[in-house]
Amino acid sequence: MQRRCTTPLMKSLRRFSSNSSTDKLVASVLFERLPIVVPKIDPVVYAFQEFSFRWKQQYRREYPDEFYKKYEARGKGDYKIDYKPASRITEADKTNDKRSLERALDRRLYLLLHGTTYGSPDGKPVWHFPEKVYENEETLRKCAESALQSVLGDLSNTYFVGNAPMGHMNVQPTEKADPLKRFFFKSQVIAAKNYNISGCDDFVWVTKDELLEYFPEQAEFLKQMIIS
């Protein structure tokens, strides 16, 4: 895939500028929501923890019951509220509502948009990451930020991780168009339950497995770039 860049490289050598100056660069954003709930525990791991707990419990002293009653009776000044823990499987899970952020709470969710983009073949609406073609901004990260801003409205609840891209892809959309280089930038959801997604007809929040379904030909690359 890298070999396609050598002809523009030969051209640019005469002009002393860097490689791929004729290539178009596209900054796209991998917008992820980190897991809200601790992941499931392997039963083998739990079995060992239980075994070790019980084994050590055999050698611990058994205090008389009055001790525990005294211990409980101490906190009289505290308030007592009934606490019922919220379930880990939310309603969005049961209805499989892909647009809500509450879906798979123990996995990461990634944002996907549906619409026309620069790299889509023949201008048909397609599923893609939020992206923007690089014009003369200072850094590619700023370009990515403006891409996300055009989708979300404002960036107050996002966090871009680092100045460098996390992966790149060379895309040849159609024979007549220029080859594109797509750079992915990582950004995370901070403290927000739902977003106002605009600028496209549809959006989904998907887990990694579902993401691989949306992009069948780039599945290998995405599997390497995204853990879990």
Partner 1 sequence: MFRVSAFKRLTSSDTSIGKLSHQLQQQCSVSRTAKGKGKVKAAQTLKRSKAAPKKGGDTGGGRKTGLAVELEEMAKKCLNAPTPIRFLKPKERAREAEREKLGLVSKERQREMDALKKQAKEGTGFEKPSTMGTPGLDLISLGLVDADAIPKYELTVEDGRRLAKEYSRVLMRRHRARQKAETTLLRLKKEAIEALPEPLKAAALVPDLAPFPPNRYMATLTPPIEGYIDKIREAAERSSVKEKLR
Within 6-45, the residues that bind partner 1 by CB under 8 A are: 17-21, 25, 34-38, 40-45
How many C-beta atoms surround the C-beta of residue 188 within 10 A? 15
Q: Is 47 in the site for partner 1 (CB under 8 A)?
A: yes
Minimum CB separation of residue 227 from partner 1 in Å reads: 5
The interface region with partner 1, picked from 53-61, 123-131, 195-203, 207-215 by CB under 8 A, is 53-61
Closer residue to partner 1 in complex, CB, 96/224: 224
User: From residue 125 to residue 144, what is the string marking binding to partner 1 with x (rule CB under 8 A)?
Assistant: ---------x---xxxx---
Cα 60 to chain center, whole Å?
Answer: 46
CA distance 46 to 52: 10
CA distance 57 to 6: 68
Interacting positions 174-193 with partner 1 (CB under 8 A) = 181, 183-184, 188, 190-191
Sorted by sequence, the CB contacts under 8 Å of residue 189 that are 6+ apart come out as: 31, 32, 33, 34, 101, 157, 158
Closer residue to partner 1 in complex, CB, 97/102: 102
End-to-end CA distance of the chain: 26
Interacting positions 194-223 with partner 1 (CB under 8 A) = none
Minimum CB separation of residue 210 from partner 1 in Å reads: 19
CA distance 119 to 203: 18
Closer residue to partner 1 in complex, CB, 138/175: 138
For partner 1, which residue of 86, 122, 175, 216 counts as binding (CB under 8 A)?
Answer: 86
Secondary structure class of 21 (helix, strand, coil): coil
